Amino acid sequence: MPLVKKNDVLEWKRRTPRQTLTRFILLLVAIVAVLVSWSFISAETTWEFVKDAPRQIQDFLSRMFPPDIKYFGKILPALWDTITISVFGTGIAVVLSFFLAILAAKNTSPHPAVRLVVLTIIVASRSVNSMIWAMILVQLVGPGLFASILAIAVRSLGMVSKLFYEAIEEIDKEPIEAITATGASKLQIFVYGYLPQLLPTFIGTAVYRWENNIRESTIIGIVGGGGIGLLLNSAINLLAWNKVLSVLMSILATVVFAEYVSARVRKALS
């Protein structure tokens, strides 16, 4: 709120009375909306089941323990498949994204029309979940690792390209000018001006995406993509809860390991 003169004394307030009133009304509307929504959620819930939940959890846990140690013999090869899926899926996505990002970034795109096409591809990839990509691709190329690798690649492509091209657009332009001024060719300008600035972001993004993909590829097997998800699915179907626990423990260990690697790489880059 601008300064107000009151009895020859200048006063300053953050907001005008009108702004204060608007804010109060908006807050009130929000509170009412939450209360109304809650009453609907409550009406749709069978509260008897919720009350029963603690006993169910206890029952579950008692069936899970102790985990099936022998099952790890089957888990380890499946885990290897899962890691393969995540590494190759991420790898394909990163290589393709490198070129897509150059075509999509405002400052390196050859033509606005090309940019539009690439942006559409990026949005399409991002808007569909990897499980759904996997379901489609299993139909197309048959069940197995290859379908999963493609699903992970297609799904990652969008996010990785987006982060890549944003990095290209936010580049420091002065070194680019300087390299251009030496009479360098376009490719040389890219290698000397752009690439050194982009490489840390590119590698950081790739590793971060790989970490996400480890998680995604653990469940992707449920729809027939192979890997540890397949084992999880069959264990649940057999109601073999001690096997389920073994699988979950392995997934947890893998994810923690992936996060550790990813954190180390990104720390080394900075």
Partner 1 sequence: MIEIRDLKKKYPSGQEALKGVNLEVHNNEVIALIGPSGAGKSTLIRCINRLVEPTSGQVLIDGKDITSLNTSELRKQRKKIGMIFQEYALVDRLTVMENVLSGRLGYTGFWKSLFRKFPSEDISKAYALLERVGLSDYVDSRADQLSGGQRQRVGIARALMQDPTLLLVDEPTASLDPKTSRQVMRLIIELVQEHKLACIINIHDVILAKQFAQRIIGLQAGQVVYEGKSDDLDTNVLTKIYGEEDWNVKKKDSNSDDSEEDDAQDIFSLGEK
Query: Which residues here bind partner 1, judged by CB under 8 A?
Result: 172, 174-175, 177-185, 187-188, 191-193, 196-197, 199-200
Q: How far is CA 91 from CA 3, 47, 98, 234, in A?
A: 59, 47, 11, 29
- As beta bridge partners, residue 236 has none
143 or 200: CB nearest partner 1: 200
Nearer to partner 1, 32 or 178 (CB): 178
Backbone φ and ψ of 260, nearest 5°: -65, -50
| Closest approach of partner 1 to the CB of residue 173, in Å | 9
Which is closer to partner 1, CB of 28 or CB of 268? 268
Supply the minimum distance, in Å, between the C-beta of residue 268 and partner 1.
Answer: 14
Neighbours of 214 (CB within 10 A): 25
Rounded least distance, CB 171 to partner 1, Å: 11
Tokens 């089957």 found at: 74
Nearer to partner 1, 48 or 174 (CB): 174
Min separation Cβ 181 and partner 1, Å: 4
Its sign, for the CA torsion 12, 18, 24, 30, is negative
Would you state the torsion angle of the CA atoms of residues 252, 255, 257, 262, taken in this order, to the nearest 10 degrees? -160
67 or 200: CB nearest partner 1: 200
Closest approach, Cβ 14 to partner 1, in A, equals: 34
- From the CA atom positions of the chain, what is the Rg in Å? 27
**Could you tell me which residues come within 8 angstroms of residue 229 by beta carbon, excluding any fewer than 6 positions away?**
82, 217, 218, 219, 220, 221, 222, 223
Least separation, in Å, of the C-beta of 202 and partner 1? 12
Residue number with CB closer to partner 1 (191 or 252): 191
Nearer to partner 1, 197 or 233 (CB): 197
Q: Judge contact between 194 and 108, C-beta under 8 A.
A: yes
Taking CA atoms, 248 is separated from 24, 35, 53, 75, 80, in Å, by 48, 37, 21, 10, 15
Residues 104, 29: Cα–Cα separation, whole Å: 41
Does residue 4 sit in helix, strand or coil?
strand
Q: Smallest gap, in angstroms, from Cβ of residue 39 to partner 1? A: 55
**Whole-angstrom Cα distance, residue 251 to residue 266?**
22
